[in-house]
Structure 1
Amino acid sequence: MKSRTHLASPLGLALAAVALAAGCNEPAGAPPGGAADKPAQTGASASSAAPLKPGDAAPDVKLTLHDGREVSLSSLQGKQVLVYFYPKDDTPGCTVQAKGLRDGWADLQAAGLEVYGVSTQDAQSHQAFIEKYELPFPLVVDVDGSVSRAFHVPMRNDFATRQSFLIGKDGKIKQVWLEVDPKEHTAAILAAAKS
């Protein structure tokens, strides 16, 4: 009888390594729903908590911003708030997503939305990303992953997966995007905010 150990082929191991390494470095023309867009739970850093859903109370977390300010999420009650998670500053998909929010900023403001981007890079990286693309909204420093964990966002190789949460004026989650198309995200947010 043959041993089953031969089933772990070098090709299978290589594909698993590629899947683990995927972050926000997808090619600029990658289709939505690619490896970097799916919240695949791989490796020891994956979240095992069930995803948050509409109607759930938003976690009362303290957001540490790129400029050192701190904002308690509960202090924003009475406003609609978008908290969006992305893998890494200044990478193709993350840049497309951030620029879309920047370009739709007037409409987002008119809808009364506060926007906070969250990733695990430090304040210096966030500041450079903001300056390079003239982003009009703050970025949250989540080096320890505590904000990601509070929102049950899976981590892949210490990078948050791309997910977004629209919080209503009542402090409850109004809409959740567990898979995000960076190019269409701003339009989807606006539609949900106006509903």
Structure 2
Amino acid sequence: NLAVALRHIFGIFRLAAQLLKRHIRIHTGEKPFACLVCEQRFSRKESLKCHTRTHTGEKPFACSLCGRSFSETRYLKNHTQRHTGDKPFACLMCEQRFSRKESLKCHRRTHTGEKPFACSDCGRRFSQKGKLIHLTRIHTGEKPYACSICGQRFSHNPSLNTHTRTHTGEKPFPCSDCGQRFSQKGNLTIHTRTH
């Protein structure tokens, strides 16, 4: 049917135009999508949607093996690799293996000493972008992560996750020697020394 074929062709052109428009924003720096809570801006609608979950605490993607929930599918995928033990990315210098390509890239900086992320306020340099973002929020006082239970706010997501466990009682870090479980990885590390 000609009408169906034409609709299909126009649909493809419309999609191509949308993808091109989104790609051009990489070069122009245009960020037309603004968060209504903190006014942070994004170039993609999907990025804004994911960011909004940092304010709402929504975590719609759950691990089928342990039930732990995540705000984005990429975090769930990374988490799932911990269950499988799959670490396909190896460091050529020390042969340490990683489940994520980004983790390997960050690890390589421990060998090179590279610190490409600099704070514009105090000049401190970091090997990881996340650490720079965290420091910047300390300077500005920004706390975009809110507990959905009590409303307490945090400057970075790991602090919120740790805090949330005080409400849920979740203890995701088990001792491989005795099975005792902990809510924080640091407490597990301290406990492991007793063995």
User: Is this a same-fold pair by TM over 0.5?
Assistant: no
Higher relative contact order (CA closer than 8 Å, sequence separation 6+): 1
Question: Whose radius of gyration is greater, 1 or 2?
Answer: 2
TM band (smaller chain): under 0.3
Using the size of structure 1 for normalisation, the TM-score is 0.26
**Bigger proportion of residues as helix:** 2
